[in-house]
C-alpha cells in the first residue's frame, strides 16, 4: 500500500475522509463508488484535470505522481486507487466487499492488480488516443512545470508522447486495444461463472473495473464481443450508488464531449 509522507503538510491536519479526485477519472470514480457503497461521509477536493490543477507544487505535495485520486484519512495520505479501495475495506469493513471464501480472495487481488497493470499501456493509451490527448494538451509553460515536478519515469514517458506537437498513433491505440481485449476475454469468462468477476458476489473487483468500462465506452471501445460484460455493466450501472459516484460527477465535467452509447449496455454518460 502506498502511504505518502506529504511534502504539502497542510493535509496532515485534515480530519475524516478527504478525497482529491476528478470528475471523469475512472481511478477516482472507483473510489467514489466504494465510498457510496459503504455510505461513508467524505469531503470532496475536486482537481480539474482539464484546467491542469494537478500540475502544481501544491498537488504534487499530496500525490507525488501528480495523478488523482489521493485519499487523506485523518492526516494519512494514501495514493493508488486500488490501494485506496483496500485501505477503505480494512478501515471500514461493513458492508464488506471482500466477502468471499478465502480461496477466492486471491481472485479479487488479481483483478485489482490487472487494473493497475493495464492502466498506462491499455486504458490510458487508448483513451488519450481517442479523446484526452487533445483535451488535455499542455502549454509550453505547463509542460516545463510538469517535467520539473514529475519524477515517475513511466508517467514522464507517457506524457512526452503527446507533447510538443506529438501524439499517440493508431498503432499505439491498436496495441492498447489488443491488450485490453486479451484482458476482457478473461473477464467475459469469469462473469459467466456466477454473474460477477469473483463468483456470485459483488466485490471490490467489480467496483474497481465498472467505472473503467464507463470510461472506455466514452472513448468508443468496442464491447460488442462481450455480452456478459455488457449485461454485468448494465446491472452495476443501474445501482443508485453508481449513478451518484460515476454519472453525476461525469455530468459536471467542464470539458465533456458527447459520449457514445452502445447496444446492450446501460448508460455511458
Ligand atoms: N495507478 C494510478 C493511476 C492514476 C491516474 O493515472 N489517474 C489519472 C486519471 S484516471 C490522472 O490523474 N491523469 C492525469 C495525469 O496523468 O497527469 C491509480 O490507480 O490511482
**126 and 223 share a domain?**
yes
pLDDT band, residue 262 (cuts 50/70/90): very low
Q: Which atom of ligand 1 is nearest to the CA of 158?
A: 16
**82 and 156 share a domain?**
no
Domain boundary among 91, 111, 128: 91
Give the model confidence (pLDDT) of 8-27 as tens digits.
Answer: 999 999 999 999 999 999 99
φ, ψ of residue 93 in degrees (nearest 5) = -70, -15
Tell me the CA–centroid distance for residue 193 and ligand 1, in Å: 31
**23 and 79 share a domain?**
yes
Report the nearest-CA residue for atom 17 of ligand 1. 67
The reply to whether omega before 255 is within 30° of 0 (cis) is: no
**74 and 106 share a domain?**
no
Question: Is 64 inside any structural domain?
Answer: yes
Instruction: With beta carbons less than 8 A apart as the criterion, state whether 203 and 97 touch.
Output: yes
Q: Which atom of ligand 1 is nearest to the CA of 215?
A: 10
Domain boundary among 91, 122, 154: 91
Looking at per-residue pLDDT, the higher value among 267 and 19 belongs to: 19
Instruction: List pocket residues of ligand 1, CB cut-off 6 Å.
Output: 25-27, 49, 54, 66-69, 80-82, 116, 119
Whole-number Å distance between alpha carbons of 128 and 123: 9
What mean pLDDT is predicted for residues 136-157?
Answer: 93
- Can you give the pLDDT at residue 252? 83
**35 and 130 share a domain?**
no
Domain boundary among 91, 120, 135: 91
**111 and 195 share a domain?**
yes
Q: pTM for the whole thing?
A: 0.93
**108 and 238 share a domain?**
yes
**112 and 164 share a domain?**
yes
Whole-number Å distance between alpha carbons of 227 and 262: 12
Test site for ligand 1: of 1, 51, 67, most ligand atoms within 8 A of the Cβ: 67
Give percent of the chain above pLDDT 90: 79
Paired residues of 77 in beta bridges: 4, 72
- The CATH number of residue 118's host domain is 1.20.1050.10
Question: Is 27 inside any structural domain?
Answer: yes
Q: Which atom of ligand 1 is nearest to the CA of 155?
A: 16
Question: Is 256 inside any structural domain?
Answer: no
The total of structural domains in the chain comes to 2
Give the model confidence (pLDDT) of 246-259 as tens digits.
Answer: 999 998 866 544 44
φ, ψ of residue 71 in degrees (nearest 5) = -105, 135
Strand order in the sheet with 76-79: 2-4, 76-79, 70-73, 17-21, 43-46
What mean pLDDT, rounded, does the chain reach? 91
**56 and 154 share a domain?**
no
* Angle in degrees, CA 161, 70, 137, rounded to 5: 25
Strands (E) located in the chain? 2-4, 17-21, 43-46, 70-73, 76-79
pLDDT band, residue 109 (cuts 50/70/90): very high
Question: Is 42 inside any structural domain?
Answer: yes
Instruction: With beta carbons less than 8 A apart as the criterion, state whether 173 and 129 touch.
Output: yes
pLDDT at 267 over 60: no
Give the model confidence (pLDDT) of 187-230 as tens digits.
Answer: 999 999 889 999 999 999 999 999 999 999 999 999 999 999 99
Q: Which atom of ligand 1 is nearest to the CA of 79?
A: 20
Paired residues of 201 in beta bridges: 198
Question: Is 233 inside any structural domain?
Answer: yes
Q: Comparing 154-158, 180-184, 254-258, which segment has the lowest mean pLDDT? A: 254-258
Question: Is 63 inside any structural domain?
Answer: yes
What mean pLDDT is predicted for residues 100-110?
Answer: 88
- The CATH number of residue 19's host domain is 3.40.30.10
**125 and 21 share a domain?**
no
Torsion sign (Cα): 208, 213, 216, 218: negative
- The domain of 163 spans 102-250
Q: Which residue has the cell 484519512?
A: 73
- Can you give the pLDDT at residue 254? 60
Question: Is 143 inside any structural domain?
Answer: yes
Give the model confidence (pLDDT) of 26-66 as tens digits.
Answer: 999 999 999 999 999 999 999 999 999 999 999 999 999 99
Tell me the CA–centroid distance for residue 120 and ligand 1, in Å: 9
What mean pLDDT is predicted for residues 167-174?
Answer: 92
Amino acid at each position: 500500500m502506498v502511504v505518502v509522507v506529504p511534502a504539502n503538510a497542510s493535509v496532515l491536519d485534515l480530519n475524516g475522509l478527504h478525497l482529491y479526485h476528478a470528475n471523469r477519472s475512472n481511478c477516482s470514480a472507483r473510489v467514489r463508488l466504494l465510498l457510496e457503497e459503504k455510505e461513508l461521509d467524505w469531503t470532496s477536493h475536486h482537481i480539474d484535470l482539464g484546467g491542469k490543477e494537478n500540475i502544481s507544487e501544491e498537488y504534487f505535495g499530496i500525490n507525488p505522481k501528480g495523478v488523482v485520486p489521493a485519499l487523506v484519512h485523518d492526516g494519512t495520505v494514501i495514493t493508488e486507487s486500488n490501494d485506496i479501495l483496500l485501505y477503505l475495506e480494512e478501515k471500514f469493513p461493513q458492508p464488506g466487499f471482500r466477502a468471499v471464501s478465502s480461496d477466492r480472495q486471491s481472485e479479487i487481488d488479481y483483478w485489482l492488480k490487472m487494473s493497475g497493470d493495464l492502466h498506462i499501456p491499455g486504458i490510458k493509451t487508448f483513451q488519450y488516443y481517442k479523446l484526452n490527448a487533445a483535451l488535455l494538451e499542455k502549454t509550453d509553460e505547463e509542460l516545463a512545470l510538469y517535467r520539473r515536478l514529475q519524477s515517475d519515469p513511466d508517467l514522464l514517458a507517457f506524457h512526452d508522447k503527446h507533447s510538443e506537437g506529438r501524439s499517440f498513433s493508431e498503432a499505439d491505440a491498436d496495441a492498447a486495444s489488443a491488450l485490453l481485449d486479451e484482458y476482457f476475454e478473461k473477464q467475459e469468462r469469469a462473469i459467466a461463472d456466477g454473474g460477477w468477476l469473483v463468483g456470485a458476489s459483488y466485490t471490490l473487483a467489480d467496483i474497481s473495473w465498472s467505472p473503467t468500462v464507463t470510461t472506455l465506452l466514452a472513448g468508443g471501445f468496442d464491447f460488442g464481443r462481450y455480452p456478459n460484460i455488457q449485461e454485468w455493466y448494465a446491472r452495476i450501472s443501474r445501482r443508485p450508488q453508481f449513478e451518484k459516484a460515476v454519472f453525476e460527477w461525469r455530468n459536471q465535467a467542464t470539458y465533456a464531449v458527447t459520449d457514445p452509447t452502445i447496444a446492450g449496455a446501460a448508460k455511458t454518460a
